[in-house]
Amino acid sequence: MAGRKTLIKPIVALVFVALVAGCSAQFRNHGYVPIQSDLEQVIVGVDTQETVSSVIGRPTSAGILANSGWYYVESRWRQYAWKAPVEIEREVVAVSFDSDGVVSNVERFGLDDGQVIVLSRRITDSNIKGVSFLKQLFGNFGNFAADQFLGDN
């Protein structure tokens, strides 16, 4: 009996430590933003896309209008246990180019500078709520035209 009591305390302590560790925050980093010393090497009005590429590298995102800009994006996410991840930091460096491919501006933005913009929403409203299978099936009778059954000659 004394052996059981000595085993229970370490097991309870181990379970408690595992629960606390499981509920601690998990952090993930995504993307890449050049460091400030590398960005200072980029000279506005002088450097081109090729020289920027050799100094700070090519980004994963570019402007859609004739390569008008390069965008370096880095974000940090925090997640607690079962909760959805939350973005806690975001940094965007935008390098703009003129029509000749020469750097015209270098800007840095943070999470507080941006706003959420929905670019695409893929939600399809279901129009069949409350309609049974048989009602859908018989509702299609009479919705056919004769030319759908005749082949092209």
Q: Percent helix, strand, coil in the chain (nearest 5)? A: 30, 30, 40
Instruction: Identify which of 23-37, 117-131, 139-153 has the greatest average pLDDT.
Output: 23-37
Any idea where the domains of the chain sit in the sequence? 23-112
Which whole number is the average pLDDT over 34-57? Answer: 92
The confidence score (pLDDT) of residue 30 equals: 92
pLDDT tops 60 at residue 144: yes
Cβ neighbours of residue 7 closer than 8 Å, sequence gap 6 or more: none
Report the share of the chain in percent with pLDDT over 90: 24
pLDDT tens sequence across 69-114: 888 989 999 998 788 999 988 888 889 888 888 999 998 888 776 6
Is 109:52 a contact under the CB 8 Å cutoff? no
Backbone CA torsion sign across 73, 75, 91, 54: negative
> Residue 124 — pLDDT band, cuts 50, 70, 90?
very low
The confidence score (pLDDT) of residue 109 equals: 85
The confidence score (pLDDT) of residue 119 equals: 43
pTM of the predicted structure, to 2 decimals = 0.60
Cα–Cα distance for residue pair 89/124, rounded to 1 Å:
32
